[in-house]
Structure 1
């Protein structure tokens, strides 16, 4: 699980899970590229991460911006060894209050954006390369108000199962990493004043008695991206303390 001189692209890498995943790859000597929509947050993340890290401001819901990003990466690095397709979003909209705008935003980022992120990366990836798509346990248990978000993550699972057939023989692996609740500032922001009460419920559901920490998801991503998982392809790894298994 060494990544020295490996080129690793992490979308949505300026905060939350993406940032934690970037930290893990930096610690293993990788040349890391992070993306995000906000330049100030990207600049701060690059400063905090240290190591061989660069940033490209990109909104993955825009195929044109993705194309520009890959042109830049090709010119600077010439290849991508690992793609962590992490960028995503969610909105709480229960049935009866689902809006067309909210529906379109979530699908544009999580499904369309991820699709064209993967498709655009493939020409820069060779045999032995790895793609890890960050899903969610919401694909099987979305909870109230999260039907649209859960649907996007379920769509990714279906896509991965097809994509590994589409690129059969290329030597590029694609796997899905689906975290459960992870204690990040963004989760607490979404939960608001009831954050700790809801987290206590999540802790109870976990067979380990706690929700995840961001660096643990980073370690799982590292495994799926590494040669240690060289015969794992098209799989969905749930990193949720066993909650989805009982």
Structure 2
């Protein structure tokens, strides 16, 4: 019993060290806004947004997508230029409410103009009822709108997550926000080119490239941008040894 306790303690200590340098850059649950006008200047002013109720009795922002092409269909939050490093990854999460209707173009993502840009959500140019993601003008990768889940559009609150490292972006979707990953996508990046590539300067929600969404938009909630520490190789090896010791102890 004592040996097992020590092993678990060591593993827990590793987890603490690996996350010690995590930092939240921006987070918004929209509950502090009494009217849609209150979102400015945190988010750019938009004529197609409204406050709705989320599944916990708080607020969410509905980007209805009815505007023609242009900035009024996209809410933008400016950030200091940001890109992954050898020691820190970038993590973007957000929840969307989808009524399951077709013909939608609405997403959450990053931009620095058009170079680079990243979006995840609904895009009717790929499949009318598909969840998808795209990474364009990134170092070493230019996939445009790749299907994220084999599931069609589903009514309910869904959790989207993207984690950027120097050589990869991993995108996941949790339909129903129940803790089960229902779709995942990995996009390889060229880490040697990041130094010369601009970082992200905007977090966005709404119409990709300001496009309208004839089938209605999505509601957005709990948008969070953070950096997370990249575990050092020595720490990973330590965790592996701890796990092996724990397995041996159980035997």
User: Normalising by the residue count of structure 2, what TM-score does the alignment of the two structures yield?
Assistant: 0.31
User: Normalising by the residue count of structure 1, what TM-score does the alignment of the two structures yield?
Assistant: 0.32
Structure in which a larger fraction of residues adopt strand: 2
Structure in which a larger fraction of residues adopt helix: 1
Which structure exhibits the higher relative contact order, with contacts defined as CA atoms closer than 8 Å and separated by 6 or more residues? 2
